[in-house]
Amino acid sequence: MKAELLYEGKAKKVFTVEGNDQTLVLSYKNDATAFNGVKKDVFEGKGRYNNLISAAIFTYLSQQGVASHFKQTLNDTEQLVEKTTIIPLEVVVRNIAAGSITRRLGIKEKTPFPSPLVEFYYKDDLLGDPLINDAHALLLSDVTKEELEQIKQLSLLVNKKLQPFFTEVGLQLIDFKLEFGRNYTGEIILSDEISPDTCRLWDIVTGEKMDKDVFREGLGDLVEVYEVILKRLEAVK
Ligand code: ADP
Ligand code: UDP
């Protein structure tokens, strides 16, 4: 099925598919990186959890009418997706202050926002994914003003859909990052992954961090936490 390795990123490998140039295989790795690749480690089992959690989230979103690149899981660590040309924007949606916004703007962690914030970052590792405004986004990507607005609205819709999804398994959705791409028809669709690597999730009862911050902040066993998330999702399926 897999033809050749197209790209190896920090968290996934991307393979072409024999005989089908409109699909790709995403292979989730066990590697964890933080602070733009400065902190690194390998966690046995992490690739499997992120693959299965991401698949569960994309499946739910599709049931809710939010299309994505996800087609099917192939095995524990791999999924088949629709090939897109990734728009070099990382879209972050925030419900509660945590992470970079607390450092950048001095907002205390745990401060809720009256309505969700949408931020754009320029997807460029060499530049450290800088925060950009709408004018920069239009300059640095091929999206039109209307498409940028569409991306914002889609990101807010994903937030609206994911909040009750996580509440049902006792998790509060603090913030998350999305990537979008264009498929062969030029349509913009949700791509990449949605997992505890790309979301902040806090246990509703204990307030415990149950996402990549466990690694970023050295709070405990990352894989154990990801396993709890998958188990909770499977229990409500
Ligand atoms: P990074 O490049 O940030 O290190 P990953 O290790 O997750 O990230 O690598 C996966 C790469 O695949 C990312 O660059 C991501 O933008 C890209 N990607 C995700 N979904 C698709 C898709 N459907 N089509 C093409 N590329 C994709
Ligand atoms: N995020 C991500 N990839 C990135 C940057 C951020 O998935 O390259 C996610 C991160 O996990 C969090 C949200 O986006 O859920 C907001 O991250 P933030 O800007 O607070 O950055 P960080 O604290 O990671 O520096």
Q: In this predicted structure, what is the pLDDT of residue 3?
A: 87
Which atom of ligand 1 is closest in space to residue 29's alpha carbon? 6
| 5 vs 37, higher pLDDT | 5
Closest residue by CA, ligand 2 atom 23: 99
Q: Report the residue among 31, 89, 92 best suited for mutation to probe ligand 2: largest number of ligand atoms under 8 A from its CB.
A: 92
pTM greater than 0.75: yes
Ligand 2 site: residues with CB under 6 angstroms? Answer: 90, 92, 99-101, 129, 175-177, 198-200, 212
| pLDDT of the residue at 37 | 87
Mean pLDDT of the chain: 97
Q: Which pLDDT belongs to residue 209?
A: 98
Kindly give the distance from the C-alpha atom of residue 67 to the centroid of ligand 1, in angstroms, as a whole number: 17
**What pLDDT, in 10s, does the model give residues 131-188?**
999 999 999 999 999 999 999 999 999 999 999 999 999 999 999 999 999 999 999 9
Ligand 1: does its nearest atom lie under 6 Å from the Cβ of 129?
no
pLDDT at 1 (0 to 100): 84
Contacts 24+ apart (CB under 8 A), 6-10: 10/37
pLDDT per residue over 93-122, tens digit each? 999 999 999 999 999 999 999 999 999 999
Considering only residues 55 and 1, tell me which one the structure prediction assigns the higher pLDDT. Answer: 55
